Amino acid sequence: MTMLLKLLQLGEPLLRDRARPLAEEEIHSTYIQELILSMRDTLRDAPGVGLAAPQLGVPIQLAIIEDQPEYWTELSAGDLAARERTAVPFHVVINPRITLASEPSIEFFEGCLSLTGFTALVPRSREVKVECLDDCAEPKRIHASGWYARILQHEIDHLNGTIYVDRMRSRSFMSMENYKRFWKSESVEDIKKKFAE
C-alpha cells in the first residue's frame, strides 16, 4: 500500500548530505519497491517532474523522474521548443553517475519541491549521459538533452547534497508569485540582462 510522503524543506540537514548507494539486494526489497511507489504518488500529487529519496528523509541514491504534458499547459509552443521539453515516462534512477556533455550554460527558471514557492535562473548543461540502475537493479544508460537533461542534473544534485540555489543566478531568485506576476512573459535573455545590471 502506497502513501503520500512528507517533503523535507531546505534547512533539513539530511538535504545537504551525500546519499549512500543501494546494493542490488536492497533494490529488490519490499521496502525499496514500496518506497518507489510512494515516491511516484507523492511526485504526482505535488505535482513535480522529479523527486529524490533524500527529499523524503531517506538518504539513499534513488530518484524518480516523470514529465507529463499536463504540466506544460502554461507554456507556449515557443517556450516548449526553447526548453526542448518533451514527455518523459516514469522511471527510476539508482546509484547514478552523470557526465555533462558541455559546460552549464543553458539557463532557465527552476523550482524545487524542497524549496516551495520560489524559483531562479539556473545554468545547466544541455546534454548529459547517466549510467545507473533501474528499479529492477538492471544497468541503464541514459543520453538526455534539453529539459530532460535539466531534470536529471537537478535530481542527481539532490543525491549529492546540492540544491539548485547553490547553482542559481542569485539575483534572479524570487517567489513564484512574483515570477508569474512580473517575469513570466519576458525572455530569458532579457531577464539575464536585467539581473546583470
Cell numbers for 21? 548507494
Domains of the chain with bracketed CATH: 13-196 (3.90.45.10)
Place 197 in a pLDDT band, splitting at 50, 70 and 90. Answer: low
pLDDT at 73 > cutoff 90: no
| Contact in structure between 69 and 88 (CB atoms under 8 Å) | no
Give the pLDDT score at 1. 61
Q: Is 155 a catalytic residue?
A: yes
User: Which tens digits make up the pLDDT trace of 93-136?
Assistant: 999 999 999 899 999 999 999 999 999 999 999 999 999 999 99
34, 155, 186, 197: the catalytic one is: 155
In this structure, the number of other CB atoms found within 10 A of the CB of residue 64 comes to: 24
User: Which tens digits make up the pLDDT trace of 74-99?
Assistant: 888 988 999 999 999 999 999 999 99
Instruction: Name residue 15's amino acid.
Output: L
- Tell how far CA 8 is from the center of its chain: 15
Nearest-CA neighbor of 92 among 31, 25, 27, 47? 27
| The model's pTM | 0.96
| Contact in structure between 155 and 63 (CB atoms under 8 Å) | yes
